[in-house]
Structure 1
Amino acid sequence: MHRLAQLAQQPSRRIIGLMSGTSLDGLDVALCRLHGHGTATRLELEHFATVPYEEEFRRRVRQVFAREQVSLEYLTLLNPWIGQQHARMVLGCLYEWQVAPAEVDLLASHGQTVYHAPAHQHQHPEFPGLNATLQLGDADHLAVGTGIITVGDFRQKHIAAGGEGAPLATYGDFLLLSSPTEERLLLNLGGIANFTYLPPTNSENTQTASAAFSTDTGPGNTLLDAVVRAHFPQLSFDEDGRLAAASTAHPNLLAELLNHPFFAAALPKTTGPELFGLAYLHAAQARTGTQALPVEGLLATLVELSATGVARAVQLALGEQPALAVYASGGGAHNPVLLAALQRHLPACNFASTAALGVPPDAKEAILFALLANEAVAGRPFSIGAGRQRVPAIRMGKISLPD
């Protein structure tokens, strides 16, 4: 407790942010120096790496990932095992960067999401209206394994305060990437696509100034990657969208995929691979008689699905012809075919990478969790937005001590 009090009083803190997404490609590790807190926060990214997951790691997580029924024993064992593996990866990065664990103040761990269950999605009769989510990778094992105070399990406080546990990017995006004059959309094209809308902070219109919020929009890369793995086991994704670029979207299949009520639901909303998995795709193919569609046509259709989902959510929030600066991050930011589809759907928007704002697109989510840990230890709760889109004033994360 004394050490935590000291950290809160320091002018800056050295924090490692960790992120492991639904794509299961690896652990993002961002070593950051954070000065101050709240709207006075300044961040320097000292080092960043993505530690690729071995196939055995992916295989074990997929045993429980987005599945309604799993072995409770296996799930219980996987929780500490992931924590131990992440601790080993963190120590490996620190060794490579020639940074001693004692020189790091905090470790911020998102954990590995294995199931996301917002109330609108599960509709379980015994738990009406209850939002839930589960991330594995026990923070105590990370703290003991690295010797670094660890802040983890961020999403539960958001749910306890009335949210859905996702997306959490609003807090970090608001603190780090707001502009006094530019209207911005921070678009994360991960397994599930989501965005944070940031109005200019110096807006004289208080209604506009309080309108910052985040929402999921639907599939990002999750279905694209799943189809590639199913047809080409040696590949993890469609590099540069080359396969999708070789064909065009199938209109009937696309219309059936977009017929899901999620796309018409009010904002903000969250979802996951539990909904947008291969079962969803195969059911739509069966209804449209497109089971024999070549893989290139299937991928082209899924690119259009992801782009349309983003565009519909943006238009629902900001009008039919939104004109603002869009900064992309996540794996999909490297897919020129997906980016071209987005530009076609949102022609008045100017697209760029978050690198233009000084934030490497692959590091952005890990950086945001470092920001959340900084606020948990040194900040004060603050609210963002208004009405249904209001982000609650909370400190997120549970603190695990190394001894």
Structure 2
Amino acid sequence: MQPQYYIGIMSGTSLDGVDLALMDFGQSPPKTVACDFVPMPEKIRQKITALVQSGKTSLQEFGELDHLLGKLYADSVNQFLLKVRLKPDEIIAIGCHGQTVWHSPNLAYPFTMQIGDMNLVATQTGITTVADFRRKDMAVGGQGAPLVPAFHQAMLSDPNTFRVILNIGGISNISVLNPSAETIGYDVGAGNTLLDCWIEKHLGKRYDKNGEWASSGEINQPLLADLLDEPFFQQAPPKSTGRELFNLAWLEKKLQKHTALLPQDVQRTLLEFTVQGVVNELLKLDLQGLPCELLVCGGGAKNPLIMQRLQASLPQWRVAKTNVVGFDVDYMEAAAFAWLAYQRIHNLPSNLPAVTGAKSAVSLGVIFPK
């Protein structure tokens, strides 16, 4: 069959870089053809971090950051095309999430903000680009997140298995694929964002490779209890969160009552906090007596201690990486945005009202012609 190529782009809350996935929707089922990663330039990472942590900037700085991100996405695609030996006119569309700098769905004037000038992406790649996926869902009453469960439902549903897809990026979120009920999905807590913030503060590293630093510490149960005593965890889904809640300032406020802890013990406790945020949600589910699988993707899937703790805490579940079903743990979300672009180009619904709380299913995204 004739290939139908789409490229998905994702840069998430971890700020480590840009993930790209080339999907072929001319095959049945659609396949991931190739993937790539471009590290986030330190200058851009620092600017985004400062903006997200403070919520403050100047219009000049904001506009420049929007431009820098747009150029980063465009350059990333152009490098990717050279690697996979494809020309721009062989790609039907790019689906680009943009960089979330603020997400506030629950106030009087709900909004979400992803930046990166998609006009630059479309013109500098010569490929039609689809972006701004979240705001249409919010316009019809939804949270604007999470969007990936619709992709999981389309690609990974199994009529004989109660399957949950867990993405542990900066924030952790789940998609619940219950064969006898509609799909639900929502954020369940801090993923890697606090782990990354803490190790960067103390060791100057971007992340705790293989959970090695956390493994050298011990869980502090009083601190863990305080971390879990956050109103977000009591909210019923649909719900979503981000670095505007789970950040270093939030952690340091919690630590004011726990002054004599070793930094590595805090790291180990933060890892357990990430795990228990997931486990507490899964224990609420009615599994219908079916075999149950937890398929993990995102950076957290590469942390052996997180995976060990998930399996130990969920003995009746089969815990595995999404690689076992054909989706690399690093590129699941990028593949999802290729699918979202495909849905928008064909004017097909791409949100799930049961997931986001939207009043209706709509086709998400704004098209930026090449």
- Structure 2 length normalisation: TM-score? 0.94
Q: Give the C-alpha shift of residue 384 in structure 1.
A: 4.4
2:186 to 211, 215, 232: 215
Counterpart position of 2:231:
261
**What SS does the aligned partner of 1:325 have?**
strand
CA separation of 1:323 and 1:218: change in aligned 2, threshold 3 A: farther
Distance in 1, matches of 2:356 and 2:190, equals 23
Match of 1:145 among 115, 124, 129: 124
Q: CA deviation at 1:379?
A: 4.8
Q: What amino acid is aligned across from residue 179 of structure 1 in structure 2?
A: D
The separation in 2 between residues aligned to 1:24 and 1:390, in whole angstroms, is: 28
Q: Is the 8 A contact 1:16 1:106 kept in 2?
A: yes
2:251 paired with 1:281:
yes
Alpha carbons of structure 1 residues 26 and 383: separation in structure 2 relative to 1, 3 Å: closer
Q: Are 1:168 and 2:147 matched, yes or no? A: yes
Task: Please point out which of 210, 225, 246 is paired with 2:216.
Answer: 246
Aligned to 1:5: none
Aligned to 1:74, what secondary structure does the other structure show? helix
Structure 1 distance, partners of 2:218, 2:307, is: 15
- Tell me if the contact between 1:101 and 1:148 (Cα under 8 Å) persists in the aligned partners: yes
Q: Say if 1:327 and 1:354, in contact at 8 Å, map to a contact too.
A: yes
Counterpart amino acid of residue 84 in structure 2: W
Could you tell me whether the CA contact under 8 Å between 1:149 and 1:401 is conserved in 2? Answer: yes
Matches within 5 A, 1:183-332: 183-200=162-179, 208-210=180-182, 212-233=183-204, 235-286=205-256, 288=257, 290-318=258-286, 324-332=292-300
RMSD: 2.2
Given the alignment, which residue of 77, 80, 97 partners 2:84? 97
Aligned twin of 1:205: none
Structure 2 residue 349 is matched with structure 1 residue 381: yes
Show the 5 A alignment for 1:2-151.
13-35=4-26, 42-119=29-106, 123=107, 128=108, 130-151=109-130
Whether the aligned pair in 2 keeps the contact of 1:254 and 1:304 (CA below 8 Å) is yes
The answer to whether the 8 A contact 2:143-2:238 is kept is no
| CA–CA distance in structure 2, aligned partners of residues 191 and 277 of structure 1 | 10
Tell me, what secondary structure is at the counterpart of 2:15? coil
Counterpart contact for 1:142–1:150, Cα < 8 Å? yes
Aligned match of 1:7: none
Q: 1:249 and 1:89, CA in 2 relative to 1: closer, same or farther beyond 3 A?
A: same
Aligned length: 370
Tell me the CA shift for residue 291 of structure 1: 3.0
User: What stretches of structure 1 move > 4 A for 4+ residues in a row?
Assistant: 382-391
| 1:96 Cα offset (Å) | 2.0
Cα drift, residue 42 of structure 1: 2.4
Return the alpha-carbon distance in structure 1 between the equivalents of residues 127 and 62 of structure 2. 25
The CA deviation at 1:118 is 2.2
Unmatched tracts of structure 1, length 5 or more: 1-9, 201-207
- Is the alpha carbon distance of 1:388 and 1:133 closer, same or farther for their aligned partners in structure 2, counting shifts above 3 Å? closer
Amino acid at match of 1:24: L
1:253–1:29: structure 2 CA closer, same or farther, 3 Å change rule? Answer: same
**Separation of aligned partners in 2, 1:52 and 1:388:** 30
User: d(CA) in 2 for partners of 1:313 and 1:22?
Assistant: 21
TM-superposed CA distance for 1:312, in Å, is 1.5
TM-score (norm 1): 0.87
Following superposition, the deviation at residue 158 of structure 1 comes to 1.4
Q: Deviations over 1:357-389 (max 9, x none)?
A: 011111100000111111111253277475986
Per the alignment, in what secondary structure is the counterpart of residue 35 of structure 1? Answer: coil
* SS of 1:187 mapped into structure 2: strand
Match of 2:312 in 1: 344
Deviation at 1:342, TM superposition (A): 1.6
Answering whether residue 137 of structure 2 is matched by residue 158 of structure 1, we say yes
Percent of aligned positions that are identical: 35
Contact 2:133 2:365 in 1 (8 A): yes
State the partner residue of 1:4. Answer: none
Measure the CA separation in 1 of the matches of 2:336 and 2:359.
16
Q: CA deviation at 1:105?
A: 1.1
